[in-house]
């Protein structure tokens, strides 16, 4: 658990929306001579811990990048194993999330996912829809370019049907067409594992987000490290294009 003193300080000046690219599960396992899926299972345990402490750190929205549109390129064994881990997480965490007052929702294109997983996703979204202690969003089969293309198609379809004038399109209106419609933009994006790519994660929404790149592999990413990152964030000056004071 995050240290008490740091947690209190962070809660006063927090990043309210934190998005995390959870990277390094496979390498964590490979470094130990274990199958990659062992790392993914350990990563799911880390998700449980980070979700538990997030509200204590002043986080109101937590968005986690779990599976990208490009991750289908991995081996069939790994992809099927990941899907099973997602399903087990939802089944095992449903009661815990509801008891804690945490709302869970998903972004990404669901049509390619297993029907059972889709039902579990819809079920926990419905069950937790009224909660707001923490808004947990998980990106599964998500890609930022794919999301933007789907939103463009939706706008184009409405325009073609005469229900919308493209001249009236605003940034806010377009944002509502994205999977994240209704969510605030992230304040802070964290990527673990030492990689410094953004990997097609929320490109529209993170235009002015602050970034932190941690060398820690995701299964080793602790609440204390998260608290330290948020503490550093609280000292940054966010100008959103304006001149420095």
Which are the catalytic amino acids?
23, 71
CA 242, CA 233: separation in Å to the nearest integer? 18
Phi, psi (degrees; rounded to nearest 5) at 152:
-60, -45
Output the CA torsion 99→227→82→122 (10° steps): 40
Whether residue 135 contacts residue 112, with contact meaning beta carbons closer than 8 Å, is answered with: no
**Alpha carbon of residue 239 to chain centroid:** 24
């Amino acid at each position: 658990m995050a240290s008490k003193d740091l947690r209190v300080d962070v809660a006063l000046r927090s990043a309210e929306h934190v998005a995390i690219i959870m990277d390094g599960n496979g390498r964590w396992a490979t470094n130990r001579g274990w199958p990659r899926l062992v790392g993914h299972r350990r990563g799911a345990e880390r998700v449980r811990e980070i979700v538990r402490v997030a509200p204590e750190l002043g986080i109101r929205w937590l968005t986690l990048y779990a599976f990208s549109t490009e991750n289908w390129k991995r081996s069939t064994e790994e992809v099927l194993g990941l899907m099973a881990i997602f399903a087990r997480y939802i089944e095992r965490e449903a009661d815990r999330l509801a008891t804690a007052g945490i709302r869970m929702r998903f972004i990404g294109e669901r049509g390619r996912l297993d029907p059972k997983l889709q039902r579990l996703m819809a079920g926990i979204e419905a069950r937790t829809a009224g909660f707001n202690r923490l808004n947990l969003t998980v990106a599964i089969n998500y890609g930022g370019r794919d999301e933007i293309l789907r939103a463009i198609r939706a706008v184009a379809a409405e325009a073609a049907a005469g229900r919308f004038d493209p001249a009236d399109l605003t940034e806010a209106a377009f944002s509502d067409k994205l999977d994240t419609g209704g969510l605030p933009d992230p304040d802070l994006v964290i990527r673990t594992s030492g990689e410094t790519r953004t990997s097609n994660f929320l490109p529209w929404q993170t235009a002015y987000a602050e970034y932190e790149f941690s060398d820690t592999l995701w299964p080793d990413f602790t609440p204390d490290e998260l608290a330290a990152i948020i503490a550093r964030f609280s000292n940054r000056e966010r100008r959103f294009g304006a001149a420095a004071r």
